[in-house]
Copies of this chain bind each other. A is one copy, B any other.
């Protein structure tokens, strides 16, 4: 088929319009059977009142579901803004060619069997990508359940949730890597009065990613917040840009992400990669780009009113944790929320003196329990109003939770109605409805108040809100003085640097390293030794990174003779056992002492890019999977927060009178290592210092061992 000169690819508002407010859609492969997958989109468009033109493309039918059908896209009488390709994978390429020829600017592809299906599928996806790009066709999918826009009545989807009688309008835009979750959110949200502006199933994101789609709609006057359902992160730079723009626009991004158990599967190796795990890196990416991550599915659509119109709490990374006030009309229901909040690290505070005084002036006793029981004063609308106002204005906490018991079911006027006026209060107000209370749920949704159906989601929503961070700067300036490290990396002979070369890089970054000298194999006995005792001797070879396992480490060597003997023995034994390994000699260092050992690592994560990891050293830290992960490069305040996050470093953080470690020096070392992210000319795939010895306050840190692996060129 001869293609006419390609149309220019749409961008910006025109693309957004073609995607979600198309004047005409083509359904390529439309089925005459409205119950079949290929027949549903047409039925749903009609059911939900799509006002534009609909062109079914089907070579075997003159009419599809009562609408004139066309054998080929080129037969269609008018311009088409958006084509939904309903054909199986083998026929998709031809359909995209047809879209290009017919100057259809956007095509959404239903079929799976592309990057989701092995090497052949990946190759096929690459072909459709190239064809679409050449033809000026922007793609959603493949493997996309389609696009639903409630305001424009564009139900361009095969998702069976669209069997709904009508779609409830709302101000949330959903971008989902899972197609079926689009229907799930729609049906679950509507059932309790939560409507959506639009929902897009992004599929494999062969062309348009969540980040790009988000940028298209970030200024949409009818969207207050974005909900993301993530299986992975594709196109991290676009996603980061979207997140920055959304933050500037005051529109929260809230994500539910799969992959909790991957980290577990990758346990049991000592390298940074395993300790960090891609899920931890993903969580760091979301957090540091100002994207709220929820843990429970329902929190995703229950919490948005808590964040809409608000900014992340202005709190230093190392400040004490968040606090909330909890009032209740039911002891048991309130206790469930308090219990769960505390177990998630959110402190529930008893009423402050100010709040108590303010309430007392209105003849209300708040009591001194962290759970403020309103039944003490009788569950009355005026009491609820006065108590919530008092807690919002005078409690000194970050948010307020109101737990409503049985009255929520049959008497919303008592304790639910009075909450409505707090939708835009100075502090976020969340509500947990303990009984089944559909009318109260809908009332609160309508008012823009976050209403939670379970104590667990309520606590999860508050935790997510109160740990929400502003996005890190879009770019962090490269500090001066990295040239020496860059030069060392440029000179590296192979992808893996030996311990001495790695230490030189760390030192160039500004990390104190243990003094060391090398005994060459040929001058073992004659070379002068400049080391203090006791000393340690380690085999030096780029081919043997796991020195202990090959018997390449000798500790506690008391004097010169002991060092030379150990070195000779080591070289001979390892030379026999590993004849192919290059043995540069034996590294001799003084045995250093510290209060604690830390592991700091740097890695290029395949999804989120450069990350830095901190863990306590030793076997137990590995067993407990106790590490902190951040995007790299990072700053000193963030590094300090990482230190606070690692439980295994508690002994050097002022634990039971034990001496404090030099945490500033540790933070400086983390920051310095993270600067590898600036060195993009010869990028580092992985670097690790293990152990980094942490000495007492003011005494610094010292890197004792480490490795650097360059990325494949």
Binding site for B on A (CB under 8 A): 159-161, 163, 176-181, 183-184, 187-188, 190-191, 229, 231, 258-261, 264-265, 268, 296-298, 330-333, 335-336, 338-343, 405-407, 409-411, 434-438, 454-456, 616, 619-620, 623-624, 626, 647-648, 650-651, 655-656, 658
User: A63 to B331, alpha carbons, bound, how many Å?
Assistant: 33
> Contact: B436 with A188, CB < 8 Å?
yes
User: A246 to B177, alpha carbons, bound, how many Å?
Assistant: 46
List of B residues within 8 angstroms of A437 by Cβ: 187
> Contact: B623 with A435, CB < 8 Å?
no
Number of copies: 2
Q: A180-B333, A296-B454, A436-B191 are in contact. Are A261 and B161 (CB under 8 A)?
A: no
> Contact: B410 with A163, CB < 8 Å?
yes
CB distance from A499 to the nearest CB of B (A): 21
17 contacts between A and B (CB under 8 A): A160-B405, A160-B406, A160-B409, A161-B406, A176-B332, A178-B330, A184-B405, A187-B437, A261-B342, A454-B454, A456-B456, A616-B620, A619-B655, A620-B624, A623-B648, A623-B655, A624-B626
User: A257 to B550, alpha carbons, bound, how many Å?
Assistant: 51
CB distance from A184 to the nearest CB of B (A): 5
> Contact: B335 with A178, CB < 8 Å?
yes
**A297 in complex: contacting residue of B178, B405, B456, B655, CB < 8 Å:** B456
CB distance from A125 to the nearest CB of B (A): 17
> Contact: B297 with A455, CB < 8 Å?
yes
List of B residues within 8 angstroms of A268 by Cβ: 656
> Contact: B406 with A343, CB < 8 Å?
no
Chain B residue with Cβ nearest A229: B332
> Contact: B435 with A161, CB < 8 Å?
yes
Q: A187-B436, A620-B620, A624-B647 are in contact. Are A406 and B333 (CB under 8 A)?
A: no
> Contact: B624 with A161, CB < 8 Å?
no
> Contact: A411 with B333, CB < 8 Å?
no
User: A184 to B432, alpha carbons, bound, how many Å?
Assistant: 12
Q: A342-B264, A436-B188, A651-B623 are in contact. Are A406 and B297 (CB under 8 A)?
A: no
List of B residues within 8 angstroms of A655 by Cβ: 619, 623
**A339 in complex: contacting residue of B260, B407, B616, B620, CB < 8 Å:** B260
List of B residues within 8 angstroms of A338 by Cβ: 261
User: A176 to B409, alpha carbons, bound, how many Å?
Assistant: 20
Q: A333-B180, A435-B183, A436-B190 are in contact. Are A259 and B339 (CB under 8 A)?
A: yes
Label chain A's interface by main secondary structure.
helix
List of B residues within 8 angstroms of A160 by Cβ: 405-407, 409-411
List of B residues within 8 angstroms of A265 by Cβ: 342
> Contact: B405 with A180, CB < 8 Å?
yes
User: A335 to B648, alpha carbons, bound, how many Å?
Assistant: 32
User: A184 to B410, alpha carbons, bound, how many Å?
Assistant: 13
Most buried by B among A163, A265, A409, A647: A409
> Contact: A187 with B454, CB < 8 Å?
no
List of B residues within 8 angstroms of A229 by Cβ: 332
List of B residues within 8 angstroms of A231 by Cβ: 332, 335
CB distance from A453 to the nearest CB of B (A): 9
CB distance from A412 to the nearest CB of B (A): 12
User: A629 to B513, alpha carbons, bound, how many Å?
Assistant: 44
> Contact: B260 with A161, CB < 8 Å?
no
CB distance from A440 to the nearest CB of B (A): 12
> Contact: A330 with B180, CB < 8 Å?
yes
List of B residues within 8 angstroms of A336 by Cβ: 258, 297
**A184 in complex: contacting residue of B183, B333, B623, CB < 8 Å:** B333
List of B residues within 8 angstroms of A342 by Cβ: 260-261, 264-265
CB distance from A418 to the nearest CB of B (A): 17
List of B residues within 8 angstroms of A405 by Cβ: 160, 180, 183-184
List of B residues within 8 angstroms of A455 by Cβ: 297
Q: Which 8 A-B pairs have the closest CB atoms?
A: A178-B332, A261-B342, A160-B406, A180-B330, A187-B435, A191-B436, A163-B410, A260-B343
Question: What would 15 more interface pairs be, CB under 8 Å, given A183-B405, A620-B651, A623-B647?
Answer: A160-B405, A160-B409, A163-B410, A180-B434, A184-B405, A187-B409, A191-B436, A231-B335, A258-B336, A260-B342, A260-B343, A261-B340, A265-B342, A619-B651, A619-B658
List of B residues within 8 angstroms of A179 by Cβ: 331-332
User: A123 to B229, alpha carbons, bound, how many Å?
Assistant: 56
> Contact: A331 with B410, CB < 8 Å?
no
List of B residues within 8 angstroms of A438 by Cβ: 191
List of B residues within 8 angstroms of A261 by Cβ: 338-343
User: A436 to B192, alpha carbons, bound, how many Å?
Assistant: 10
List of B residues within 8 angstroms of A647 by Cβ: 623-624
**A183 in complex: contacting residue of B188, B260, B406, B651, CB < 8 Å:** B406
Chain B residue with Cβ nearest A437: B187
List of B residues within 8 angstroms of A331 by Cβ: 178-180
> Contact: B180 with A340, CB < 8 Å?
no
CB distance from A266 to the nearest CB of B (A): 12
User: A411 to B187, alpha carbons, bound, how many Å?
Assistant: 14
User: A190 to B437, alpha carbons, bound, how many Å?
Assistant: 12
User: A160 to B335, alpha carbons, bound, how many Å?
Assistant: 19
Chain B residue with Cβ nearest A438: B191
Q: A298-B454, A436-B190 are in contact. Are A159 and B651 (CB under 8 A)?
A: no
List of B residues within 8 angstroms of A190 by Cβ: 436
CB distance from A658 to the nearest CB of B (A): 8
> Contact: B620 with A406, CB < 8 Å?
no
List of B residues within 8 angstroms of A339 by Cβ: 258-261
Chain B residue with Cβ nearest A160: B406
> Contact: B623 with A332, CB < 8 Å?
no
List of B residues within 8 angstroms of A177 by Cβ: 332
User: A264 to B340, alpha carbons, bound, how many Å?
Assistant: 12
User: A455 to B297, alpha carbons, bound, how many Å?
Assistant: 8
CB distance from A344 to the nearest CB of B (A): 9
CB distance from A31 to the nearest CB of B (A): 14
Chain B residue with Cβ nearest A256: B336
